[in-house]
């Protein structure tokens, strides 16, 4: 999905990462950032030599995306469940300011159990945000409920 967005879909300019009319991308499940960093490097946001510094001290490539350190990052990711709400705010801002950019957010399947995700989804529908797309990474890799002996994907256990 990241490759398709960055190389086929999104309106972006790596030479001008702060372009006001660019499409926005948020990886709400920030721990999956290595794929995003690879796409950003391949598109020319920064030199590929930085990829070998992932998660090292003073690297521009931290374990979660940091918009203060990495060119091309539109939102610092951390706590699961926050990315969709941030994307909603960006998309609503675009509508109110009559801007044409689109906001794309990838959330994890386990993250969809957070109430803030559903509040953002309902708000997007209420505001009819056709410039806002959520993509659920349904990889089924969240923690399983093992204390009860079940095989369900639930939080909390």
Q: Would you state the pLDDT for residue 144?
A: 55
Between CA 77 and CA 83 the distance in angstroms is: 7
Tally of CB atoms within 10 A around 71 = 15
Judged on CB neighbours under 10 Å (0-12, 13-18, 19+), 25 is buried
Domain ranges for the chain: 2-137
Q: What is the pTM of this model?
A: 0.85
Give the per-residue pLDDT at 148. 52
Strand stretches in 1-152, DSSP E: 24-27, 103-108, 132-137
Strand 132-137 relative to strand 103-108: parallel, antiparallel, unpaired? parallel
Confirm if 10 and 19 have CB atoms less than 8 A apart.
no
Top-level class of domain 2-137: alpha beta
Residue 95: its pLDDT value, please? 97
**What is the per-residue pLDDT for 143?**
60
Q: What was the pLDDT predicted at 85? A: 94
Residue 138: predicted pLDDT: 83
- What's the confidence (pLDDT) of residue 109? 80
Beta strands at 24-27 and 103-108: parallel, antiparallel or unpaired: parallel
The pLDDT, as a whole number, for residue 35 is: 95
CB 11 within 8 A of CB 20: no
Give the pLDDT confidence score for residue 157 in this predicted structure.
45
**Under-50 pLDDT residues of the chain:** 146, 151, 153-157
């Amino acid at each position: 999905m990241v490759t398709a967005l960055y190389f086929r879909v999104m309106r972006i300019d790596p030479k001008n990462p702060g372009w006001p009319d660019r499409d926005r991308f948020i990886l709400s499940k920030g721990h999956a950032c290595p794929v995003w960093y690879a796409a950003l490097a391949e598109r020319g946001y920064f030199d590929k030599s930085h990829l070998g510094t992932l998660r090292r001290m003073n690297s521009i490539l931290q374990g979660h995306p940091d918009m203060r350190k990495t060119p091309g990052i539109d939102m610092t990711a951390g706590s699961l469940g926050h990315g969709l709400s941030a994307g909603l705010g960006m998309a609503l801002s675009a509508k109110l300011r009559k801007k044409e950019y689109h906001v794309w957010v990838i959330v994890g399947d386990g993250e969809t159990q957070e109430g803030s995700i559903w509040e953002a989804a309902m708000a997007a529908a209420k505001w009819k945000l056709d410039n806002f797309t959520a993509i659920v990474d349904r990889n089924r890799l969240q923690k399983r409920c093992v204390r009860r002996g079940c095989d369900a994907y639930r939080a909390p256990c």
